[in-house]
Amino acid sequence: MTIALERPVGTTDPAALVDPEVMERLAVRVTKDHPDIELPIAHRIIGQTAAFLAASAALPGAELSPSKAVDVGWHTWILHTVDYAAFCERVAGRFIHHVPTPDGESIEGGPEAARQRTLDAISAAGFRIDHDLWPDAAMMGECSQCHAGCTDSPNGGKKQ
């Protein structure tokens, strides 16, 4: 199933997928939950989260994985359930699940392969990539976020 994304013709800015009021609400929440992130960066994070979600919707089961920054945006958005569900329905025609990789398992090909798969998918969906928010896997280091293993799964993470 192919979903036509609602965005101004010719734009590659994924922030165009997000209602301005929702964008502001989410960006402000990111800065409250993460005081080290300034509002302009939070806006960029939400834009890249929209691109990630749209790419995930276009390629369910592809094991796309967010960067640490985009994972912050995704977690923030999920907590705003009404906004998140409406965005998912509009962009994907379904709810986009957040499925962390179980402990001890890794994403196919490792973090760098997942990063490249994700960036390729975002580009293929026609969105601009904010490379500052997608550092090389080697530069990301160890962290406690689930960014190294979060994916979208149309079957809720159940193996088929």
* Whole-angstrom distance, CA of residue 40 vs CA of residue 16: 15
Largest CA distance in the chain: 43
* Whole-angstrom distance, CA of residue 87 vs CA of residue 27: 16
* Nearest by Cα to 47 from 118, 130, 108, 106: 130
pLDDT digits (tens, 9 = 90+) for 82-107: 999 999 999 999 999 988 876 656 66
pLDDT digits (tens, 9 = 90+) for 30-43: 999 999 999 999 99
- The domain ranges of the chain are 14-151
pLDDT digits (tens, 9 = 90+) for 46-72: 999 999 999 999 988 888 999 999 999
pLDDT digits (tens, 9 = 90+) for 107-155: 677 888 889 999 999 999 999 999 999 998 655 443 334 544 555 544 4
Q: What pTM value is reported for the model?
A: 0.80
